[in-house]
Amino acid sequence: MNAQIELNFERRRVREKPSLLERWQAYHEANPHVAVKLTEMAYTASKAGARNIGIAMLFEVLRWRTNIETTQTEGFKISDPLAAPYARYIMLKNPALRGIFKLKRSEVDAYFDALEGGSHE
């Protein structure tokens, strides 16, 4: 029995995963209300005396308010990695909130640094 096995190695197209910045830009464009709500919460925290908060906390509050306190058919979806660009965006657009978020280095730093001419260290 001399059977040959035909091996067919096709090259599969591998789609590049969008960068964090690209994912954030697309999400933000489709959901501008998210930045508005996060900004409102940041101002509320600031007015209550908070000087340094984590954006992740605001994400969780927003999830709670949207999924539990409101009536809607679909749950609110926001990916945790989007926190880094949102923190930078909110501080960039709202000078009174500059420095309110604790920041770690992120792949989006160069983009936001170029917009504001500063650094996020």
Mean pLDDT of the chain: 85
| Residue 4: inside a domain | no
Q: What confidence tens digit (pLDDT) does each residue in 74-95 have? A: 566 888 999 999 999 999 999 9
- Residue 1's pLDDT band (boundaries 50, 70, 90)? low
* The two structure tokens encoding residue 36: 């508005």
The domain containing residue 53 runs over which residues?
Answer: 20-116
Stretch 30-40: mean pLDDT, rounded?
93
What's residue 9's pLDDT?
A: 64
Counted domains in the chain = 1
| Residue 5: inside a domain | no
Do the beta carbons of residue 99 and residue 107 sit within 8 Å? no
| Residue 19 to residue 11: CA distance in whole angstroms | 23
| Residue 81: inside a domain | yes
| Residue 96: inside a domain | yes
Q: How far is CA 12 from the centre of its chain?
A: 30
Residue 115 CB contacts under 8 Å (≥ 6 apart), including other chains: 92
| Residue 2: inside a domain | no
| Residue 15: inside a domain | no
pTM of the model: 0.78
| Residue 1: inside a domain | no
| Residue 36: inside a domain | yes
CA angle (53 as vertex; 52, 54 as ends), nearest 5:
140
